[in-house]
A and B are shown apart, each in its own frame.
Chain A
Amino acid sequence: MVSELINANPVIYEKKERRVRSVPTAAADEYAVEPIDQQEIFDHIRDIKDPEHPYSLEELKVITEDAIEVDDSRGYIRVTFTPTVEHCSMATVIGLCLRVKLLRSLPSRYKVDIRVAPGSHATEAAVNKQLNDKERVAAALENTNLLDMVDECISPTYE
């Protein structure tokens, strides 16, 4: 780990309240389809822990519900996240966490695009390219240190 924190004093926001979905009444809706939507994706990733702080990505406003685009019929998802500081070297790690978490939570028919919000990062293009390059993601996950870190970050989402 770096000796000095990149963003030593991040702004903490409140968590959004968890919306309880209305439970469909049993018989009538037994076969009705509940499509995967923004909120569901957000629920998957909101609790991912920031790599350098004990806060969730939601609390740091790295991700918001509005920054998720879902097209269920075409199997396409785009998550746009906003690093807390422009030169954040953790951006790629955060992106990797998002990717791994969604990879493990979504059916394989989805294509997931992950990118940093335009203008929010110094090396935006490089980060985007790195995050959406299959080979490089696979290579990163071969690295046990990195994988441990990712696993640690996404473990709160299962609680």
Chain B
Amino acid sequence: MAETTELIQHIELYVDTSRSPTEQAASLNSIISLVKSDFLTIEVLVKEMRMYLTTTDNVIRARGILLLAEVLTGLASKPLDNATIHSLIGFFTDRLADWRALRGALVGCLALLRRKVNAGMVSASDGKLVAQSYIESLQVQSLGQHDRKLCFELLECLLERHPNEIASLGETFFYGICQAMDGEKDPHCLMLTFPIVETLVRIYPDPSGSLASFCGDLFELLGSYFPIHFTHLKDEDAEVKRDDLSKALMSAFSSTPLFEPFVIPLLLEKLSSSLPLAKVDSLKYLNHCTAKYGADRMAKHAGAIWISLKDAISNSLEKPDMSFTSEPLYGLGFQENEIATEALMLLQKVTLQNEALFLSLIIQDEGINIVFNSIASHEHYNNIPLQGKQWLHAVGRILYIISKTSMASCNSVFESFFPRLMNTLEISVTNSAGDCTLNENTFPSKKFNFGALYLCVELIAACRDLIMRSKDLAPKPDTPQETCRYMLQSFADSLVNAFSSSLATNANEVAHGADIYFKVKGLQILATFPGDFLPISKFLFANILTILMSIILVDFNKILLWKLVLKALVHIGSFVDVYHESEKALGYMGAVVDKTVSLVSRDDVKMPFSLKLEAASEIGASGRNHMLKIVQGMEEAIVAKLSDYVHGNLKSAEKTIQLLECYCNKILSWINETGGLEEVLLRFVINIWNCVESCKDFSIQVQEEELLDATMMAMKLAIGSCSEESQNIIIHKAYSVISSSISIPFKESLDATSSIQLEELSVSEQIDNSSHRDDQIDKFSLRDEWILSHFASVIIAVRPKAQIVNVKGILHLFMTTVLKGCVPAAQALGSVINKLGTKSNETANSIDCTLEEAVDMIFRTKLWNLNENGVLRTCGSGNGSKVGLTDLCLGFSSNKLLRVHAVVGLAWIGKGLLLLGHEKVKDVTKILLECLLSEGRIRAMELKQGLLENSYEQHSVMRSAADAFHILMSDSEVCLNRKFHAIARPLYKQRFFSTVMPILQSCIIKSDSSVCRSMLFRASAHLISNAPLIVILSEAKKLMPVLLDGLSLLSEDILDKDKLYSLLLVLSGILTDKNGQVAVIENAHILVNCLTRLIDYPHMMFVRETALQCLIATSELPYARIFPMRTQVLQAICKALDDPKRAVRQEAVRCRRAWASIA
């Protein structure tokens, strides 16, 4: 029989120990598949294997049994009949006594016991037999690690599958298990044994019976493992974490309350040890066990636990953080380590469980009473010794935790401690709201006891937290006449008076941060008690707010105090907002928000303007209603200041800019986060437009570029976060303003052939008496520019779906103004084009212009006439040849400035197209390139004829054409980005880079004039420095010469230093990459030349530093390549050693070493 011989072969192979494990695994798998596909029955297999299973050769028998066992493991889901299982388990049970072939027996038992119901399971009586055999014949602790693990797995499985049979085995089995586990040290095995203990405890549930007597023995075994501590961390144990083991032990500890007499003393003993790990673990275990053992059992240990906890809390405090900042902190700012945190958590838990007991312990505790007695001496924070502070902190934290636990404990803590504190603070009960007005004479320059102040604040904070929590849990708490409530009620007035008056008096002297901190905190807490618990009077609340606000107004020089007070006000504000305390909300609105608003708008308060803005934005952020008010106030202030400015008050410009920046950075971001305040944004924009509109007559010059930028930015951001509907409203508004008030007319509807007369561009009027070229541009009235820029920012920021009115007219308008040097107009053109891209054909019908039409209009329309003397006239009058934007770029006019503007305009339009992935961008690129090259030719000719005057101005067109590539490639902050809803195709930079770069490179090769070439390098430098590094790296070899030439070119002009730096960063990126290094090898010589020149680039430290770093990277190139340059480099570095900047010198030292050591 072929199958039988094949089977024998497989068996032989598996049994043969000299074969490799993979071969053995393969033969095992083939046997399993044979059985699975029913070519072979288990009976036949066993019969074939009988020799291997019963031979006297230990090795072969062990392997044989293991093979059978492994086959059974592989067949876990194949149904077997009961008789087969019975005989198999009988065999393996017998074999458990065969210690030489144990592994197989264990694996076999496990495989059979683990079988699922539907595949045939081991019967209960067989299970019992296995357990008996296990106890009688296995000496677990004398086995190896893996066998032990298998033993424990078997045990676990037995306990899980046949708990009743095991339970019936009684004491012998129990002690057998104990014996098996005793002394186990391997983490993997321990992970199994701890749950076994848990299960054991579960199957002997009778508390009075046998388990009770076993517990002592069982715990003796378990207790020795606590605390879990790994003596050596080996990699192989990495999969068993200390934490997992510790958790397993913890659940074993807490598995039955019967362990309590053993566990708690052990934990308390370990808690008093000096090992931090033991402490933390004991606290965690105690916490866990407390819940499991129940209140009655824990009550016995209450005293001991309290004493240990007190010690743990007060001894585990680390050095205090002496600086009191405006950040909130716990207690006195001591660093609480894990021990203290755990201890406080435990304290809360045990108090919750045995309330009365722990309360009496704490209240009568000597240590705490000593602290309270000595409190009188803690007058000032600075005078308290360190230990005193520690005790104070500990007591404060303990009382806080305890009183926070429940109302009853809060009451008794207040009862026993609060009056004493009030005594020390010399605060007496004042009756009713009679003298609520601030009376500073009540506390004439009295020293405020710091210790008492601190504890008092902790107590009321606990009380408040407790109430807030119960309020959250149950919306309608019944508030009976609680003691703490009564006490607080009676002391509230005087407390507020005391805090506030001492804050006010303190304002004159230098007080420690801690003093201020707790006084402000006290006031804040008192103000934020929910009204239904502690109805502090309206007057009192108003009083608190008044005193805090007066500090905001007056004490802005004391930074800490001011910040703390502001924080407190914000807290109160958000409390009022969240809990809908209508009465308090009114008060807050009046006393705080309105005042802050008036602060911003009024100039007569001496406070620094930046602080005013900070206060306003912080307080506004405390709640929606407050923000609405603040926003309105700010808006009014902005509009007022703007119109003020527009009407000639130039001084208000600076404040307006600050206001606008605050609006952009703080308020707009808050609104964006909160959402749903769109009407506010809409109103803001409309208001600004009203302001823009109102200043029809302003003839003064808007000189502040910054102001214009700031308003435009604020407007863009505001519009950017509006929805389409609001944007539509804004567009209409803006359109109506611009069409009514701008002096440059624009066609309502434009088509190429219409002959509506356009007024001549002011450009042309000027030219006749031209003395200065620049005047042509300035002639564009400033008011027009002002309005137009705002309009442009509307267009830039709108969403693609927003409907722009009269797109063609607007395009036309922008086209006209672009030539006057209005960059926002160019950006707006780019944005319009970009956003037209998404409109599908259906929607295209509803609007009056499609993308194609717009593009066509921009590139084809001839808007201007050219006079014979190169002067531009708008189309319609005159009869010169008509020119369009592209013609202008290409030099149909000899007016340089005009051409520069045309190029810049084209660049922004190109960017819009590029982001869209429109094919027309090719044309733009072509024009720009043409511009670069043709200009270069003319220049070269003129150079020959000696016509060159001022070289800088002469190159301006080429320069701007080269810089146009920067505009195209770089990310812009002001337009065409995600914030302003630009549509951007993925990887557009990569694509553009890989199309344009080869063209540029070939142009460079062809170009014959130096000027032209340098401009081409400039353009390539822009491309390279803005392209993603990964693209550059893949082409590093080709790009290297261009890059290096670009570097030396950019280093010539100081204005290009930032561009130089970004290009240099690309180079350093290449040099630090392995493939990049390979690419530069060929150019090593030029590279080193270039870098050594950059080492003394005088205008930017980062350039020098990066150049040196690049040189260090270069020193790792192949020896033969770089050795010839060594002397040259070392000489250059010598100079860098004497660099004015330290960072450069340090880098030079490293670089010198790198190069000196290659010899």
Contacts and interface: CB of A to CB of B under 8 A. Distances in A.
Binding site secondary structure of chain B? helix
A44 B1099 CA distance: 26
Contacts of B1150: 158
A5 interface: no
B1101 A21 contact: no
B365 interface: no
Contacts of A32: 1140
A33 B1134 contact: no
Interface stretch (A88-96, A99-107, A121-129): A99-107
Nearest to B1143: A23
Contacts of A43: 1146
A36 B1153 contact: no
A36 to B, nearest CB: 7
B1142 A107 contact: no
A55 B690 CA distance: 74
Contact of A108 (B1100, B1134, B1142): B1134
A153 to B, nearest CB: 14
A142 interface: no
Interface residues of A, number: 17
Contact of B1145 (A31, A40, A104, A158): A40
Contact of A34 (B1100, B1134, B1141, B1152): B1141
Given A104-B1156, A107-B1138, A158-B1153, A30 B1099 contact: yes
B1140 A104 contact: no
A109 interface: yes
Contacts of A40: 1142, 1145
Contacts of B1138: 107, 109
Contacts of A107: 1134-1135, 1137-1138
Nearest to A44: B1149
A34 B1140 contact: yes
A53 to B, nearest CB: 23
A107 B1137 CA distance: 5
A16 B324 CA distance: 27
B1153 A104 contact: yes
Interface string B1124-1152: 00000000001101101110011001101
B1149 A30 contact: no
A108 B1134 CA distance: 8
Contacts of B1153: 104, 158
B1156 A34 contact: no
A36 B1134 contact: no
B1149 A105 contact: yes
B1143 to A, nearest CB: 8
A31 B1150 CA distance: 23
Interface string A11-40: 000000000010000000011111010001
Contact of B1101 (A30, A105, A106): A30
Contacts of B1101: 30
A30 B1100 contact: yes
A107 to B, nearest CB: 3
B623 to A, nearest CB: 37
A30 B1138 CA distance: 16
B614 to A, nearest CB: 22
* Most B C-beta atoms less than 10 A away, residue of A36, A105, A109: A105
Interface in B206-258: none
Contacts of A109: 1138
A34 B1142 contact: yes
B1108 to A, nearest CB: 14
Contacts of A33: 1140
A34 B1152 CA distance: 20
Interface of B: 1098-1101, 1134-1135, 1137-1138, 1140-1142, 1145-1146, 1149-1150, 1152-1153, 1156
9 contacts: A30-B1101, A31-B1140, A36-B1145, A104-B1156, A105-B1137, A105-B1149, A105-B1152, A107-B1137, A158-B1153
Given A30-B1101, A34-B1142, 20 more contacts: A21-B1142, A30-B1099, A30-B1100, A31-B1098, A31-B1140, A33-B1140, A34-B1140, A34-B1141, A36-B1145, A40-B1142, A40-B1145, A44-B1149, A104-B1149, A104-B1156, A105-B1137, A105-B1152, A107-B1138, A108-B1134, A158-B1149, A158-B1153
Q: What 10 pairs between A and B have smallest CB-CB spacing? A: A107-B1138, A33-B1140, A107-B1137, A105-B1149, A34-B1142, A158-B1153, A34-B1141, A158-B1150, A34-B1140, A40-B1142
